[in-house]
């Protein structure tokens, strides 16, 4: 933006020089404007290039640059009243740079400052203002000045467009990051299924729904049989791969409305919705048990075989979440005590 300011001031100096060539103003005004205007812009560019601006509250030095530019434009409005319209329009274009980063409070301050400064300059130059000549050359130079102003406003618009594009991209990246964070917060790192915390929230929501609709649901606690032996015999890497594969097998054996979560270690829990009675929940759990028992586990490691024991509980309208899970947990212990690789309905 500072380099753009240097370019804009230089272009304005060219326009004033053309007016001097056309006899509208003296060449003294041209050299004075070039020295003060371009000199101040170059000074700001040098400050930023050397990094001295980094110590300031506003590293972009936007407010000082705009203030200096407006003050010297209005000073030349008084010194060269024949070109008052040129300098007044230049003030308006310069003020548009404020839209880049001003806060509401800064906008209000800048608006009052520019209003007071232009009023003072116009009052100081009253009685000396003249109209530019109407010759072909003067009209052509005036058009050139207008053409340059349009270019400046277009450049400001491009800056806004670039900022909007960057903001949209940052928002997209932020949205993706938030989705990823939510995904990590709700799912088990290893297996990718729901974790215990998110499942318990899901279970509470399902309980509320069941109490409103009187539609029962079931839960099944699943425990992989003798999983410690798998880790001891094949190693933890094979054990991790087996847990991931177990989740894939179990998820494929249930309906899309059922949800699987890791409850802890090699223990998993199923939400079966809705389950119209104990038999339906038990049948759904039995499908998972059978799918695990018949799966080819040797694709992970030769000699590997897994089975699962399950305890099933169905929701009763006066149940708490703890009571429901406890009933399924007791049924799981009964399944283990009965020889494992089986599903047992809780009483």
- Domain harbouring 305, CATH code: 3.30.70.270
Q: Are 242 and 133 contained in the same domain?
A: no
> Is 185 inside a domain boundary?
no
Catalytic residue among 130, 266, 286, 290: 266
Flag the least confident range among 72-81, 91-100, 137-146.
Answer: 91-100
**Identity of the highest mean pLDDT range in 70-84, 182-196, 281-295:** 281-295
- Are residues 7 and 126 both part of a single domain? yes
* Best CA proximity match to 63, nearest among 24, 91, 101: 101
Q: Sign of the C-alpha dihedral, residues 119, 123, 128, 130? A: positive
Query: Do 63 and 130 have their domain in common?
Result: yes
Residue 53 CB coordination number (10 Å) = 16
Same domain for 147 and 208: no
Please provide the average confidence, as pLDDT, over all residues in the chain: 86
State whether 146 and 200 are in the same domain.
Answer: no
Cα 163 vs. chain centroid, distance in angstroms? Answer: 14
Judge if 156 and 201 occupy the same domain. Answer: no
Count other Cβ atoms within 10 Å, centred on residue 30: 20
- Is residue 265 domain-resident? yes
Point out the least confidently predicted range of 9-23, 25-39, 52-66, 193-207.
52-66
135: Cα separation from own chain's centroid = 56
Burial of 208 (0-12, 13-18, 19+ CB in 10 A): exposed
Find the domain containing 336 and state its range.
196-345
* Shared domain check, 252 and 304: yes
Q: Is 311 helix (H, G, I), strand (E, B) or coil?
A: strand
Q: How confident is the model at residue 215 (pLDDT cuts 50, 70, 90)?
A: confident
Number of domains in the chain: 2
Q: What is the pLDDT of residue 155?
A: 75
Give the integer Cα–Cα distance in Å for 118 and 71: 9
pLDDT at 193 over 90: yes
Q: Same domain for 228 and 262?
A: yes
Q: Domain check: are 157 and 262 in the same one?
A: no
- Beta-carbon contacts of residue 312 (< 8 Å; ≥ 6 apart): 218, 219, 220, 278, 281, 282, 285, 328, 331, 343, 344, 345, 346
The pLDDT value recorded for residue 337 is 93
Q: Measured between alpha carbons, how far is 283 from 343 in angstroms, rounded to an integer?
A: 9
pLDDT at res. 322: 93
* pLDDT, tens digit (0-9, with 9 covering 90-100), for 110-123: 788 888 888 888 88
The answer to whether residue 70 is domain-embedded is yes
Active site residue 266: yes
Predicted model pTM: 0.55
Distance CA 25, CA 86 (A): 12
Q: Within the chain, what is the greatest distance between any pair of CA atoms?
A: 110
Same domain, 68 and 140: yes
7 and 147 both lie in a single domain: yes
Task: Please report the pLDDT score of residue 2 as a whole number.
Answer: 66
68-77, 144-153, 234-243, range with the lowest pLDDT: 144-153
What integer pLDDT is reported at residue 98 of this predicted model? 67
| pLDDT given at position 12 | 84
């Amino acid at each position: 933006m500072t380099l753009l300011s240097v370019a804009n001031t230089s272009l304005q100096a060219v326009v004033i020089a053309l007016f001097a060539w056309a006899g509208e103003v003296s060449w003294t005004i041209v050299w004075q404007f070039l020295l003060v205007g371009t000199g101040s812009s170059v000074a700001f560019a040098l400050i930023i290039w050397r990094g001295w601006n980094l110590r300031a509250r506003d590293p972009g030095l936007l407010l000082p640059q705009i203030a200096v530019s407006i003050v010297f434009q209005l000073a030349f409005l008084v010194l060269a009243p024949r070109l008052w319209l040129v300098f007044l329009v230049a003030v308006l274009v310069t003020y548009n740079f404020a839209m880049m980063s001003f806060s509401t409070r800064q906008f209000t301050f800048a608006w009052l400052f520019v209003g007071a400064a232009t009023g003072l300059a116009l009052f100081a130059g009253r009685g000396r203002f003249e109209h530019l000549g109407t010759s072909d050359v003067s009209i052509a130079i005036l058009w050139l000045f207008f053409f340059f102003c349009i270019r400046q406003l277009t450049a400001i618009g491009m800056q806004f467009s670039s900022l909007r594009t960057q903001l949209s991209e940052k928002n997209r990246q932020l949205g993706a990051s938030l989705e990823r964070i939510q995904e990590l917060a709700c799912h088990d790192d290893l297996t990718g299924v729901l974790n215990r915390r998110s499942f318990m929230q899901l279970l509470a929501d399902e309980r509320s729904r069941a109490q409103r609709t009187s539609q029962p649901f079931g839960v099944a606690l699943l425990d992989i049989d003798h999983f410690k032996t798998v880790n001891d015999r094949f190693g933890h890497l094979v054990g991790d791969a087996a847990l991931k594969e177990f989740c894939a097998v179990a998820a494929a054996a249930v309906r899309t409305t059922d949800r699987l979560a890791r409850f802890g270690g090699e223990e998993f829990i199923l939400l079966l919705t809705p389950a119209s009675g104990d038999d339906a929940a038990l049948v759904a759990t039995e499908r998972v048990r059978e799918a695990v028992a018949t799966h080819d586990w040797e694709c992970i490691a030769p000699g590997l075989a897994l089975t699962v024991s399950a305890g099933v509980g169905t929701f009763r309208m006066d149940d708490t979440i703890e009571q429901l899970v406890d009933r399924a947990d007791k049924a799981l212990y009964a399944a283990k005590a009965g020889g494992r690789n089986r599903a047992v309905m809780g009483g």
